[in-house]
Chain A
Amino acid sequence: MASTASTPAAGGPSSAPPRNEPGGLRIGWREVLSRVLALREGSIIAVTIIVAIYFSANTSTFFTGENFKTLLPYFAPLAILGAGEVFVMILGEIDLSIGGMYMFAPIVFYKLETAGLGLVPSLVLSVLVCSVVGAVNGAFVAIVGVSSFVATLGMLFTFEGLSLILSHGTPVATPGAQIHQTTVLVHHVVNGHNIVLPEKVNHVSTFANIFGAGTYSELIWAAAIVLILQVVLTFTRWGLYTVAIGSNKLGAAEAGVRVKLVVIRNFVMCASLAGLVGVLEAIRSQTIQPDPSGPNELLLIAIAGAVIGGTLLAGGSGTVVGAFIGALFLGILDDGLILQGVDANYKLFYTGLAIIVAMTANVYVARARRGHSGSG
């Protein structure tokens, strides 16, 4: 038996697919396709590409650089929120408080900055405040034994409420994100005449450019965070223990995994990332809006993105890259529907249907995977 280790179906149960054994040498497109689909992210990659092709074919503006730039700020924050949420969801838990952190962190940032602290220290401290909230979430779940849905729902409302109290419900300009206008002289050629006109050019500080305002700032943050966390999930003990707890909590504990520590750590990370995204978005949009409706929607879409990307709500399985692609899928869908001129009233409806279709595809692919030999 050991000599057959190279054929994918060798170790599988009797439900191995009845098709021909794939030859080791001939790797045709079918094999490539089945390998891609065998990836946990496979189905959502396929669905995302199909949707992108559809919008490219049906609108002239979808497949353009300009459109890509408008797409970025929609999906990058979702990807970061999703990355943190994946670590909690693999445990078999859920963190709804990310909406609260997303709303609360910019207000802490504003308060600290206006109290005289520097921009960077204010940002770091505001994220740290969210880490503490994450630790409390984790403690409620791991030590007190409150269900994570209930504990984090309470924290969501508590911190959205606290945000309203602290901000008096009034929007403010984000510190460090102000646009400076400088006047430069620009040469124009009009009807053969050279004329010089003064024009106003917008600048934002380097701080703002790094933390959200730069065109690719959030994309770079998202890509870096997703990459690092995927490595953490797949190649470190932290990731291994996260999967172990989600798959068999008692077994992991009996093997000596410190379950409470891992649970708390993952909640800390999830809340911290949500706080960071909140500040990045406040800097990008230049205003701090104390309105819970945005965060409430965002948190659900982030969870939807993670689920679409192949993370099971039941725990034990999931990928960060999947959540990234899930967020990209939702971004493309949202953007494409707008470009196609779909009635705004229909957009949410279509988004909902698309989520259901993508999820159903996921279930079928997951079923197909079981006959296949994924290596992790």
Chain B
Amino acid sequence: MADAPATDTPVVGPVSAPDDVLRVEHISKRFGPVTALRDINLHLKKGEVLGLLGDNGAGKSTLIKILCGFQKQDSGEMFLHGKPYAPKSVDDARAQGIETVYQDLALIDELSVYHNLFLRKERVHRPLPLLANAQMKREARAALDEIGINIPRIDVAVARLSGGQRQAIAVARTVNSDADIILLDEPLAAMGAKEGAQILDLVARLKAEGKVSIIMILHNYVHVLQACDRVSMIQDGTIALDKPTAETSVDELTEIVVNEYRRAREETRAEQAAGEAS
């Protein structure tokens, strides 16, 4: 059970710059006996698209959930626009400009497309507390048209949409807000190439506008190199690599993962050997 020497060597540290919109320092998180995040350092520049890679269970989703205020870290600090950032809730994070699209598709099946788009941002007939449905429908339609998402009807329950359409709605939900940081947890999961391309185009368009900064969890290296400015890879609860996509390649990223698998195999073998010896 001796620590592998590799983990003691300094990982690629954050290169902080004054224009960082978001900075994460030494974040750790445990769930009972499971350490999800060991020591995460991360930074995001204004207008940047950061791709987050990592094996299943490496802690990517946990990190996203901490960033968006759904869970709280055990230790470490976060800074938003240079100021300490400790969201009390998802609402609080959103009020501070951080919006999230979750991996588990946080859409509400029984609600219509436009109610999903406006969930927690409903328009009401002030001063009455009644929902301004017509206004929400109009705005939802306009927002979807603007970002080029084609949904035939916006007053049907989202349960009746295809996987790709649902994901598009989920992404649109964040775009349709005043957020300046958007977190996308596997936006291309459960998508065909055509729909996936639509989402990547949407991300490219947002990047071109330069108003929002995006952190995106992806599995496909090609997508990362295509859509992101920079890539961070989480391994074993820490950032194992942090590089501009221009300076890395599919080969390098693959190499890291291959090495990880090799190490994991060796550890298992060593443990088995130790078990047999005793």
Q: Which A residues are within 8 Å of any B CB, using their own CB?
A: 1-2, 4-5, 10-13, 231, 235-237, 240, 243-244, 246-248, 250-258, 316-317, 373, 375-376
A158 smallest CB distance to B (angstroms): 34
Interface string of B151-166 (1 = CB under 8 A from A): 0110111001000000
From A10, A257, A316, contact of B119 by CB (8 A): A257
The verdict on A243 contacting B108 (CB below 8 Å), with A235-B131, A256-B94 known, is: yes
Q: Does B232 contact A (CB under 8 A)?
A: no
Interface members, chain B 67-125 (any A CB < 8 Å): 70, 89-91, 94, 100, 102, 104-112, 115, 119-120, 122, 124
Q: List 17 A-B contacts (CB under 8 A).
A: A11-B152, A235-B133, A236-B131, A237-B124, A247-B111, A248-B106, A248-B108, A248-B109, A248-B110, A252-B106, A253-B70, A253-B90, A254-B102, A254-B106, A255-B108, A255-B119, A256-B89
**Complex contacts, B133 vs chain A, CB 8 Å:** 235
**Complex contacts, A235 vs chain B, CB 8 Å:** 130-131, 133
A96 smallest CB distance to B (angstroms): 24
A91 smallest CB distance to B (angstroms): 12
Q: Does B150 contact A (CB under 8 A)?
A: yes
CB-based contact B152/A255 at 8 Å: no
**Complex contacts, B90 vs chain A, CB 8 Å:** 253-256
CB-based contact A243/B131 at 8 Å: no
**Complex contacts, A257 vs chain B, CB 8 Å:** 119-120
- Nearest residue (CB) in A for B106 is A251
The verdict on A236 contacting B152 (CB below 8 Å), with A248-B109, A255-B106 known, is: no
Q: Does B127 contact A (CB under 8 A)?
A: no
Cα–Cα distance between A1 and B155 once the two chains are bound (Å): 14
Known A235-B133, A255-B120; 9 more pairs at CB < 8 Å = A5-B153, A11-B160, A244-B110, A251-B102, A251-B104, A255-B106, A256-B89, A256-B120, A316-B109
Q: Does B10 contact A (CB under 8 A)?
A: no
CB-based contact B111/A243 at 8 Å: yes
Q: Does B18 contact A (CB under 8 A)?
A: no
Q: Which B residues are within 8 Å of any A CB, using their own CB?
A: 70, 89-91, 94, 100, 102, 104-112, 115, 119-120, 122, 124, 129-131, 133, 150, 152-153, 155-157, 160
**Complex contacts, A255 vs chain B, CB 8 Å:** 90, 106, 108, 119-120
A367 smallest CB distance to B (angstroms): 14
Cα–Cα distance between A110 and B201 once the two chains are bound (Å): 69
A292 smallest CB distance to B (angstroms): 36
**Residue of A2, A236, A244 ringed by the most chain B CB atoms within 10 A:** A244
Cα–Cα distance between A250 and B107 once the two chains are bound (Å): 10
- Nearest residue (CB) in A for B122 is A237
From A1, A11, A253, A316, contact of B110 by CB (8 A): A316
**Residue of A11, A231, A236, A316 ringed by the most chain B CB atoms within 10 A:** A11
CB-based contact A12/B110 at 8 Å: no
CB-based contact A1/B156 at 8 Å: no
**Complex contacts, A237 vs chain B, CB 8 Å:** 122, 124, 129, 131
CB-based contact B155/A375 at 8 Å: yes
Cα–Cα distance between A252 and B107 once the two chains are bound (Å): 8
CB-based contact A376/B102 at 8 Å: no
**Complex contacts, A254 vs chain B, CB 8 Å:** 70, 90, 100, 102, 104, 106
From A244, A251, A253, A317, contact of B105 by CB (8 A): A251
B96 smallest CB distance to A (angstroms): 12
The verdict on A11 contacting B153 (CB below 8 Å), with A244-B119, A254-B70 known, is: yes
From B120, B153, B155, B160, contact of A376 by CB (8 A): B155
**Complex contacts, B153 vs chain A, CB 8 Å:** 5, 10-11, 373
The 6 closest A-B pairs by CB, nearest first: A11-B153, A251-B106, A247-B110, A256-B90, A256-B120, A256-B91
The verdict on A246 contacting B156 (CB below 8 Å), with A240-B131, A256-B89 known, is: no
**Complex contacts, B107 vs chain A, CB 8 Å:** 248, 251
Cα–Cα distance between A131 and B133 once the two chains are bound (Å): 31
CB-based contact A12/B160 at 8 Å: yes
From A11, A252, A376, contact of B108 by CB (8 A): A252
